[in-house]
Structure 1
Amino acid sequence: MSRHEDDEQFRLFVQRQWGPLLRTAYLLTGDRGAAEDLTQSALEKTHRRWGRVLRRDAPEVYVRRAMVNTAISWRRRRRPLEVPLLTSDSAPTTDAYAQVEERQLLLTLLRRLPPRTQAVLVLRYFEDLSEADTAKVLDCSIGSVKSQASRGLARLRNELAPPAPQSPVRLEEELA
């Protein structure tokens, strides 16, 4: 295959996949600008190896793997400069924007998970990849995907669960 044909195939691939890749990048980074940078970076790495990628891997798998690895690398290098709000500071209210606030809370909690767990949840539940496809993207076993997903979902459930109400007897004892 000629270089011109490779470039044309890559251009068509980018046109088809830009939206889904950008969505994955946003879920991994939590920031639109960083998501665009991550997508560009992963596509650049893919373009350099495009001929080999077409012969060996599915391009979507290769790009997503590059995105996950790059996002993890960036996350290790960059420590967040902003201080996250306490859960009590961002408690959702019962107004017309409750669904948006709940989604934002979920995304905030997702970004607090370890990078590999975050990547598994994004690929499995936001990108709707199977366990096998997720394992292929992350270059790990299906069992690892299952355990990471299980632990990640448990942590999210724990963070999202409303606090257990105190019994009136225990509350009176604390006030006394």
Structure 2
Amino acid sequence: MSDRPDEGYREYVDARLPALQRLAYLLCHDRHRADDLIQEALIKLYLRWDRARAASDLHAYARTTLVRTFLSERRTNWARRVVLVDRLPDEAATTDPDAASGVAVRAALATLPPRQRAVIVLRYYSDLSVEETGQTLGCAAGTVKSQTAKGLAALRRALPDVEPNGAATTRTRS
């Protein structure tokens, strides 16, 4: 990266923007809100660029900024009063044979409380350890574990039994 702060920031954002956009979308399940979330997080990152650049892991710093911006927003009165959508938008047709499962998982993920959703996304999408997730969220490892367990249990209850090819299955009980 360049020695000029603005140039280094631009280079970083150009390289990491797609990953940050995917993370933001998984957190809020609305492409427009994800763009707003990214914008807010990138402004915060720019204002603290000297500190961020000096961090031991710049990607973790940016990810933490994004997730904490999301969680902070969810605590405001606006987020409690306004419901943007009651269902996920129709996904564009894709050649992915497992598209139905992906839509079902995203819909189930959208039903989780923000903190559980953040833990699940960080642990399983961003592939962070319990400790890294705790650092990102500013909580203890035990909290990450309990939120993960609660989130996974809720996802198991919410998800239909779907085979990877999208075919529904039936459970047989003994």
Contact 2:64 2:137 in 1 (8 A): yes
Aligned to 1:159: 158
Evaluate the alpha carbon distance shift between residue 98 and residue 155 of structure 1 in structure 2; reply closer, same or farther with a 3 A threshold.
Answer: farther
Aligned to 2:14: 15
Q: Tell me how large the CA RMSD over aligned residues is.
A: 2.7
Evaluate the alpha carbon distance shift between residue 158 and residue 61 of structure 1 in structure 2; reply closer, same or farther with a 3 A threshold.
Answer: same
Cα displacement string for residues 140-172 of structure 1 (whole angstroms, at most 9, x for unaligned residues): 111211111111001101122558679xxxxxx
Evaluate the alpha carbon distance shift between residue 16 and residue 81 of structure 1 in structure 2; reply closer, same or farther with a 3 A threshold.
Answer: closer
Contact 1:46 1:53 in 2 (8 A): yes
Aligned to 2:31: 32
Cα distance in 1 between the residues matched to 2:160 and 2:106: 15
SS at match of 1:128: coil
Cα displacement string for residues 31-88 of structure 1 (whole angstroms, at most 9, x for unaligned residues): 2222122112101111001112233463322322222222234344232143349xxx
Structure 1 unaligned segments of length 5 or more: list them: 86-95, 167-176
Aligned to 1:49: 48
Alignment of 1:98-137 (within 5 A): 99-137=98-136
Contact 1:61 1:136 in 2 (8 A): no
TM-score normalised by structure 2 residue count? 0.76
Higher fraction of helix: 1
TM-score normalised by structure 1 residue count? 0.75
Q: Percent identity?
A: 39
**Which stretch shows the higher mean deviation, 97-106 or 40-49?**
97-106
SS at match of 2:98: helix
Higher radius of gyration, 1 or 2:
1
Cα displacement string for residues 110-142 of structure 1 (whole angstroms, at most 9, x for unaligned residues): 111111110010111011112221111111111
Query: Where in structure 1 do 4 or more consecutive aligned residues deviate above 4 Å?
Result: 161-166
**Aligned positions, number:** 154
